[in-house]
A and B are shown apart, each in its own frame.
Chain A
Amino acid sequence: MSTLKWKLFGIAIAFPVTVAAAGPNLGQPLSHADLAAWDINVLPDGSGLPKGSGTAAQGATIYAQKCAACHGEQGKGGISAALVGAPPMKDMSSPKTIANFWPYSTTLFDFIRRAMPFTQPRSLSDEEVYALTAYILAQNKLIGEKDEMNAQTLPKVKMPNRDGFIPRFPERM
């Protein structure tokens, strides 16, 4: 090793270089506006629900156009699951339906908005998602035919099986 390199080595030991940051810090700041198109989670307390509203009557029209091909007329089931009805839970493989199983109404809005229709997810407006949510809840007699679903009313819809769950490992939550 040359004398010059030895000197540099000595300097490096004597004066270790430190940087202000602990990590790479390569994440770029993300504004609320920039996130908007992806910010679609709806939580059980209703946070994340957008502006807008819809009714079962509005939802019936959209359902017939965009949902009935798979889920059947009036939600009675087709190549995809029935959306209406609450068959008794006889055993472990009983159908888990919206009315007999789902604990939170907000899940319905969240799932329709993120995943439906199967071949064209994210194509529905928030108004259409509210209307479809209202239609399915009304078909299941969980809300009235005229009830409007919006960010205030939807989280208040109490689902029949809300208290039907046992966390398997509560100590890990």
Chain B
Amino acid sequence: MADAASLTPAVGLKNSMRALRRLLPLIALALALFAAASGAARADAFSDALPGFAEDSFSATDTALKAVATSGNPQAKAVIAALQNSALVFDSDSKAVFIKADDGTLLDPTTGKPAANPPSADNLQAVRLNNRIRGALDDALGALTLSSPDRATRLAAADTVFKSRQASAVTALKAAIAKETDPEVKRAMLDAEAAATITDTNAADADRVAAVNVIRDRADPDALALLTGLSSDPSQAVRDAAAAGVASIKNALAIWGVVQNLWYALSLGSVLLLAAIGLAITFGVMGVINMAHGEMVMLGAYTTFVVQAIIRTHAPWLFDWSLAIAIPLAFLVSGAVGVIIERGIIRFLYGRPLETLLATWGVSLILQQGVRTIFGPDNQQVGNPSWMSGAFQAGNITITYNRMWIIVFSFAVFILLLGVLRFTRFGLQTRAVTQNRSMASAMGIRTPWVDALTFGLGSGIAGIAGVALSQIDNVSPNLGQSYIIDSFMVVVFGGVGNLWGTLIAAMSLGVANKLLEPFAGAVLGKIVVLVFIILFIQKRPRGLFALKGRAVEA
């Protein structure tokens, strides 16, 4: 095993299996001894330890506690729990130890029955605790709960031992491992045992090296921390094995890191997609740079806030449905505002795109200030429904539910929109107007009507995006401002009038941002992406997927 430092991960795995197999007889032997020494021996260790509590010294208490914890006596748990609750008392004269029950009766710690000849209450003194003993208590309880019938408790106990690395828990662990049937819990216990063995410098080198290999297969940050801590171990063999383990864990973690980054990238890309997709429609169809687009997103977020506020006061049981209720409402609110803007301002400015840009910037200022007047300048509290909060573990990465649902949601919106544009009459008309306005008009399509509805659709989609973004971002009057530049970048990068372009642009910008982040930091990464887009526009002034033909002649 001394050559463990040169092992590749695959060989290492095989080796560790072999090590485990070599270890098995040892464990079996230990268990056999353990079983043989049952009954009297067990009671002995336990009752031998008890007087230690009566010595009224912290170190004696600590020793006694450890002895009790590892004794495996069925009464051990009761004693430790009593110690934790300051219900473990001793007679200052006879040095006899008792457990004081809730009703005041004194119990014999060895049997758990009321004591035969309880001393007078005046002589009783509680065993004193200090912080070190309190810590040891937690470990001891952790070890004891290893045999709890509840699966979750056992798992938690194994984890506690793994973290505390109490060498004294090994005995209890071995007992628990032998009885354990659940593979996951067993795995956790074996890890915990290995962790405890590694830390115990008194254990045999071979055992510790085997334990290092067990830990290596965990391949998570905890394992890395544990093995890194061995770099100055007195034993050369352990040091080598640990170094090999650290290298292989780092490898595995690097792969997980990339996976995690890709997940973040997908998440960011879906947020960008949500924010930009409405703009892609208004810009694509009408050539209107809608600077108030971010405020449509903000209106959607505030709609969510209002819906939740009403639900909280009138129908709290509906809270989990609040987002489902908010989505159509946000679509209607933002869509209606969009139609009003189009009918009231933008239709007077067709053919003057730069001025539309300025007018809609004015609209955005008014909407921001309007929201600020009504709701105040502070962030509003928008809650996550129960199915949006929390996280789960997939391999070594943590996936939060809200991010996951937003990814699902953004793709759902994308597909829905694609369907609307593709298969409905309105979609057909919209595409006709996009491609050739005057010809569409000549064919009897009411282009002003299509314009208004398209603008409403784009704004409504922005509102829906606002519902989703309210779950991951601060809902404040400035919400829209933080998305507007990113949205423009996505639309311009993807090309006007092409939803697939928007999808690809959003995802590639998400990936680019997140892949640059580890090397360059978040801000510099963003700057690099911006510069890249500026340069890209020079190469393809109409974006990745430009419409071809006469329709786009400027």
Q: Do A and B actually bind?
A: no
B contacts, CB < 8 Å to A: none
